[in-house]
A and B are shown apart, each in its own frame.
Chain A
Amino acid sequence: MKELSLHILDLAENGIAAQAGLIRILVQEDPKANRLVIEITDNGKGISEPMLAHITDPFVTSRTTRRVGMGLPLFKAAAERCGGGFEISSKPGQGTSVRGIFQYDHIDRAPVGNMAASLVSLIAGYPEIDIEYTHMYDGRDFTMDTRNIRKELAEVPLNEPAVLQYIQQAIQEELHDIMNA
């Protein structure tokens, strides 16, 4: 993947495939501590213990269309090749949490990339799922929660093109603000 935001899109879809209703996405950029943390947590059906032990093996997947699953192994490899690490925890019936830690200035660390595009693709593709997205940069942060947006919009669906355009612009501006304060 060329951008970490593409991994985030991919991992969020794992949660959706696990019948989650809410996906929490945390991106924590801390250049001073030379650390970048990405965490994706879902409230889906979770992963059983025997499956969890082999979950980053590309030949382990719960999908039936093909026998390989590359999402988690690719994310793990991306974190580990920049002096970071990877953790996954899961409880059947409660959900799964995936965490990647990256050395911020590592030469092999892919850029975070276009988070607004990833978020809007998720909302456009799966309008019934709720997303809570928090982005932190050097101690400043902002949060977007589709549950709040949904409340304000009432009968207007989240995947109306005008709504999606607004969310995309808003995320871009919020990110610009926390990064250029």
Chain B
Amino acid sequence: MAKLSVSDLKNLKEKVSKDMSLREGKAKILVTVHMGTCGIASGAREVMDALMKEMAEADRQDIRVLAAGCLGMCSSEPNVTVEIEGQEPIAYQHMDANKMRQVFKRHVLLGEVQTAFALAKM
């Protein structure tokens, strides 16, 4: 795929809407990357980037990613919160691309809370 072009977007739309109809159901898992000034300065964009790559690989319709502001604990940034339906939300601290990949593969996909990086239950 080269530059932003209408024909590319049309092809992409065809392909993605086919995939989307195969994956049904509502989002049950929400991953929030906290991207306030403090988060961005300490590496939240790289965390978001790693998360998007994991999302592309996992190809799951029931996971949603959002950005949000600062949690109020700037010294622990970058923070990421994982909320799985029916479970307590877990906030992670001092995240980087590697830790994000681990949290995604273990916690988001398999449900194992990564206590080594956890800041708090919320």
CB of B41 within 8 A of CB of A1, answer yes
Q: How many residues of A are counted as interface, with CB atoms below 8 angstroms from the partner's CB atoms?
A: 44
Q: Which of A66, A69, A162 contacts B16 (CB 8 A)?
A: A162
* A66 in contact with B74 given A120-B52, A170-B4 (CB within 8 Å): yes
Known: A6-B41, A121-B67. A152 touches B13 (CB 8 A): yes
Stretch in B30-38, B84-92, B114-122 touching the partner: B30-38
Query: What's the count of A-B pairs with C-beta under 8 Å?
Result: 113
List chain A residues, Cβ under 8 A from B9. 149, 152-153, 166
Q: Which residues of A contact B15 (CB under 8 A)?
A: 162
Interface size class of B (residues with CB under 8 A): 35 or more
Per-residue contact bits, chain A 164-181, to B (CB 8 Å; 1 contact, 0 not):
111101110110010000
Which residues from chain A sit less than 8 Å from chain B, CB to CB?
1, 6, 9-10, 13, 17, 63, 65-66, 69-71, 74, 114, 117-118, 120-122, 124-126, 144, 149, 152-156, 159-167, 169-171, 173-174, 177
13 contacting pairs across A/B (C-beta < 8 A): A6-B45, A10-B41, A63-B69, A65-B70, A65-B71, A71-B37, A118-B45, A120-B49, A121-B44, A153-B16, A163-B16, A170-B1, A174-B3
